[in-house]
Chains A and B, each alone.
Chain A
């Protein structure tokens, strides 16, 4: 046992030393943390998102940083795992003394929320979309629209702009499927429509004829499909085979080129959402994607997410700049106040963002539709 305690006290000493040097380094620069999965199953997405954030920080510093002071980013691995995330975030707060940190993946976002609240450090969730993220505490904010935002937009657009009166809802029988289907049903009904069929299918199902036949019998004018990327194309294909030709709406999950490749002509009249402007919406996004192709040799994994990650440092820099101008110390408390005071930010790749009182953000939802074998812009809903 003596060996045990001896080890621990040496480690404690070493850590204490590291703590004190970390505190000194802060005065000439502004620091923020970025906790992302660099290893593990989610690393392909995490690393691309980190790269986007690195480019953004580079860009900000090239343009003069925070009133001439450098913006520094501390990157640590979370493996998308709550326990690893807790360690990383604790380190950022205790050692690097960050006033704000960015993280993603709902498990990590939720696990580190108590740490953010206890230490009065702002946590920005960028990419997790589970609706309960808005209720994690005073210091947890999201820059990413939560799951119900795009579902609401689709339901409202179908009822009001497309003038559909009868909708059918087909959803996967899991937590997000049920949650989103409920949101759609409530929104569509409130907008004056009627839900004529409300069918679920099992998670492992490969045959959807049963629920689809029920839907066909109900004769809806539009169908909302709430499934996963994996089985959604099959559901659409089977629906078309059964002679269901009405438009099918879904959410951002199915917005990818693969859907068209898999379905061919059956993909026509499928409407999806996107939470970030695409290449054709903004020249900056085009420039950004071109840079990926030029520097890395491919498009980023999960493009919209990397756009949000690219924009997070810009938002943080804007708040720091404002604090710096006023000469207010960049603590987590002041950061939160200033961020809420500024409220609206114009960000390069994802457009305008406004923080609401209820810890969510309002963002326009981009609707896209398959027309002649191509995703084409249909409408922008909200704001």
Chain B
């Protein structure tokens, strides 16, 4: 059953990652693809704290989240002040630079990776308990992000994303929102990292590179940006598909290329045929953003 458990755990983790990434790139419009590095920071911080200083795992996972949250400011504060596009470059630089740095720190395993990370829950309550924990946290994340984006904070994000100048003319601080949303998204990714580390008990710097970035981005794009369930569906589909293919009993000479083509093909298909993703965000296909915004502010005025 380990196979099913690990699939469910991966689905849970990627639901958390894709949803929090959608918060950053979709809802807030911050073009950064360095999400996995915050996943990595969470994983490393949590693993090191519990391994070296014997900190209880739940606490270390939380510290991992806080670590990722704080680290995000290192990218967002300097970069956001300049302009949006710089964030993309700064974030990739941060991601690749940190991976390179991690490879040279012997204390955290270096390029060879960190082994023997303490496990959590599994010994006492079985693997099922961890699956439940991860899926529950995935659910909480999705609900939290829905609450965040559908409330007043979400309206603020939408307004800022769609017209930053107009937004700042209303007396709002756009940079503060960007930094805050970036930190929230990164912190959530950090918690996912801790959850990964204590189940699979091995992490290495290279696994958090650009391939991981493109995987999470694909999940968000395929599922549908700026929707609550889009990233969830994207994560499920993209986690399951490669597994389902292996059940067709294809020879390796076909299986390999097919797995490779799948992702590329999927991205191309969605780019040309359905750029809005499986679940389109409401304002995209209606194309009437101002009206929706007006509706919201109308409600606010009444209340």
A residues in contact (CB < 8 Å) with B: 1, 3-4, 7-8, 11-12, 15-16, 18-19, 38-40, 43, 47, 50, 54, 75-77, 81-84, 86-88, 90-91, 93-95, 106-107, 110-111, 113-115, 118-119, 130, 132, 136, 174-175
Contacts and interface: CB of A to CB of B under 8 A. Distances in A.
Interface string B231-247: 01000100010110011
A174 B104 contact: yes
A83 B257 contact: no
B139 A91 contact: no
A149 B267 CA distance: 46
Given A87-B10, A136-B115, A7 B256 contact: no
Contact of A130 (B6, B103, B112, B255): B112
A378 B119 CA distance: 49
A47 B7 contact: no
Given A1-B139, A8-B8, 7 more contacts: A18-B247, A54-B252, A110-B113, A110-B202, A111-B202, A175-B106, A175-B110
Nearest to A50: B252
Interface in B86-141: 103-104, 106, 110-113, 115, 119, 139
Interface in B37-79: none
Interface of B: 1-4, 6-8, 10-11, 103-104, 106, 110-113, 115, 119, 139, 142, 200-204, 206-207, 211, 229, 232, 236, 240, 242-243, 246-247, 252-253, 255-257, 259-260
Interface of B is mostly: helix
A6 to B, nearest CB: 11
Contacts, number: 118
Contacts of A94: 1-4
Contact of B252 (A47, A82, A113): A47
Nearest to A75: B252
28 contacts: A1-B142, A3-B229, A18-B247, A19-B1, A40-B211, A43-B256, A47-B256, A54-B252, A76-B255, A81-B207, A82-B203, A82-B204, A83-B10, A87-B3, A90-B3, A93-B2, A94-B3, A95-B3, A110-B112, A110-B202, A110-B204, A111-B113, A111-B200, A114-B201, A115-B2, A118-B2, A175-B111, A175-B112
Contact of A38 (B10, B115, B139, B256): B256
